[in-house]
Structure 1
Amino acid sequence: MSVDDIVKLLDAITKLLNVLIWPAVILFILIRFGRDLRDFFSSLGELSLKGAGFEASLKRKQAEAAAALAAAAASRSDGDTNRESAAKEAKIAADVVSEVVTPRAIRRVSRSTVLWVDDRPENNIYARQALEALGVNFVLATSTDEALKRISRQRFDAIISDMGRPPDPRAGYTLLDHLRSTGDHTPFIIYASSRDPEHVAESRRHGAIGCTNNANELFEMVLSTLGRAV
């Protein structure tokens, strides 16, 4: 199974999970696509078939978030991802979700609103879907100017930004520095191409929570941030 096939499959899973027959859909997918995906979903714990009950709702949110995170990891790969490594990424995503997506976490982040600033928002579809599954709402901006206009009109619980946006290779810091200089202390996370220690340290000196290029780490950072903000 190629990387594109895996991404398309996981994207289809997140969409199909929105229908009422989601347990049957999952069962079909597990049978059709073999052991890798069976292992992925089994790591989430047994999916409940209790209809509209709370346990079923929680498991559904976990499954949606984990599938989207796995797709995010595959979509950001360097093109060398094979079936084994894709299955590994799916397992990591499932482990992250099972650890941090609790009833309390969902209550705290549900209905939060996050501004995501990136000149190529299509690159972050799956990472957004993972958080949207838990009730997080996103407003998108593709430039620093657009972001500032949105911030002037609306309060956000957190801001996620890439780093370089033409013509500014440090646009993430340009936006962050402007906000901090005007007294705006909205939690700020940089989601770019690096998570090297020196870049993490630099982002914190500018006033960000941190920076990462890893979808699972971003997911954890956003949940932690929103949990403190509400």
Structure 2
Amino acid sequence: MADHEINPTANIITAIASLVSAFAWPAIAILVIYGLYSNTDKIISSFNEFMKDKDSANFGFSSSGGVTLEIIQKTARVSANAVISSANKSTTGPLSEDQKSQVGVNAQSAAISLASNSLDPRTRLKILWVDDHPENNIDLQLALQTLGIVVICIDSNEGISQAFDNASSFDVVITDINRDEMGDGRRQAEPEGGLKTVEIIMKNYPNTKVIVYAGGWAATHRNDSLQKPIIRITNYPEEVYQIVVNLAKTKALLQ
């Protein structure tokens, strides 16, 4: 049987679909396509047709041959909306209009600052998120991942060592405090399991920063004096977002 003719357009759309579904930075798709294909009219048409009605990106080529990316504003909007959604579901409640505006500014700044660093693993901030209910943090995780920040989630302290071994290192650990019992017998209830997380990080990974992101516990202790490696105790998702994007921008600048 004769080999089927390779369809570059189909390959483009398949590649983009895989990247978008994984919340990959949209610029990755742009650069891959730009580097592998030369039929720019077909590339632009295929990409924009695929992305129609999707809040992600469009792109084109300028008359001088440069790439014109129209991804920053849309990327920032996706990230900001995810933070707003996270706040709506949190114990702290919906954001005010001023707070929403500030989140939008922060997202825009982060999207601009991190765009050129998204392909280099050395410049991407890496987060280990320890929480027995990771599904509660999906919106906030998406807000960070959209900007190219790496977020790895585990549900107990038992996975910390393996996670560090797999990733080589993390810049930040985000932890809850109270951990529920696991019905399969893997863990009994740990009312202060997150404090054990802090101890493990302090002992074994002293250069890693810790953010305690918890509900009632953080509301009670947010004004406590911070001790290394903790840099913030909070129950506000927008505060976690601001701290993390600032750390991500700082790391990108230092590389």
TM over 0.5, yes or no? yes
1:9-20 equivalences under 5 Å are: 20=51
Radius of gyration: which is bigger?
2
**Quick check: 2:130–2:157 contact (8 Å CA) kept in 1?**
yes
1:173 and 2:182 correspond? no
Query: For the structure 1 residues 159 and 165, does the alpha-carbon distance in structure 2 shift closer, same or farther, using more than 3 Å as the test?
Result: same
Task: Name the counterpart of 1:225.
Answer: 247
User: Structure 2 CA distance, aligned partners of 1:69 and 1:189?
Assistant: 17
1:133 and 2:146 correspond? yes
Residue in structure 1 matching 2:133, options 120, 129, 133: 120
Determine helix, strand or coil for the equivalent of 2:173. strand
TM-score (norm 2): 0.61
Residue 181 of structure 1: CA displacement?
A: 2.0
Residue 225 of structure 1: CA displacement?
A: 2.1
Determine helix, strand or coil for the equivalent of 1:190. strand
Residue 200 of structure 1: CA displacement?
A: 4.2
**Quick check: 1:190–1:212 contact (8 Å CA) kept in 2?**
yes
User: Structure 1 CA distance, aligned partners of 2:220 and 2:89?
Assistant: 24
1:104 and 2:104 correspond? no
Determine helix, strand or coil for the equivalent of 2:74. helix
User: Structure 2 CA distance, aligned partners of 1:70 and 1:217?
Assistant: 12
Residue 160 of structure 1: CA displacement?
A: 1.0
User: Structure 1 CA distance, aligned partners of 2:236 and 2:222?
Assistant: 14
**Quick check: 2:179–2:190 contact (8 Å CA) kept in 1?**
yes
Residue 186 of structure 1: CA displacement?
A: 0.8
Determine helix, strand or coil for the equivalent of 2:227. helix
Q: Give the letter for the 1:138 counterpart.
A: V
Q: Give the letter for the 1:199 counterpart.
A: R
Q: Give the letter for the 1:221 counterpart.
A: I
1:186 and 2:214 correspond? no
Q: Give the letter for the 2:144 counterpart.
A: L
Determine helix, strand or coil for the equivalent of 1:201. coil
Unmatched 5+ residue regions in structure 1? 1-14, 27-48
Residue 100 of structure 1: CA displacement?
A: 5.1
The percent of aligned pairs where both chains have the same amino acid is 20
What CA RMSD, in Å, does the superposition of the two structures yield over aligned residues? 3.0
Task: Name the counterpart of 1:95.
Answer: 102
Which structure 1 residue ranges, 4+ long, deviate > 6 Å from structure 2?
none
1:85-143: CA deviation from partner (whole Å, max 9, x where unpaired): x5x54662342232453212444677332111100001001001111111112111000
Deviates more, 1:112-121 or 1:166-175: 166-175
**Quick check: 1:127–1:215 contact (8 Å CA) kept in 2?**
yes
Unmatched 5+ residue regions in structure 2? 1-22, 27-49, 61-67, 181-188
Query: For the structure 1 residues 58 and 209, does the alpha-carbon distance in structure 2 shift closer, same or farther, using more than 3 Å as the test?
Result: same
**Quick check: 2:219–2:235 contact (8 Å CA) kept in 1?**
no
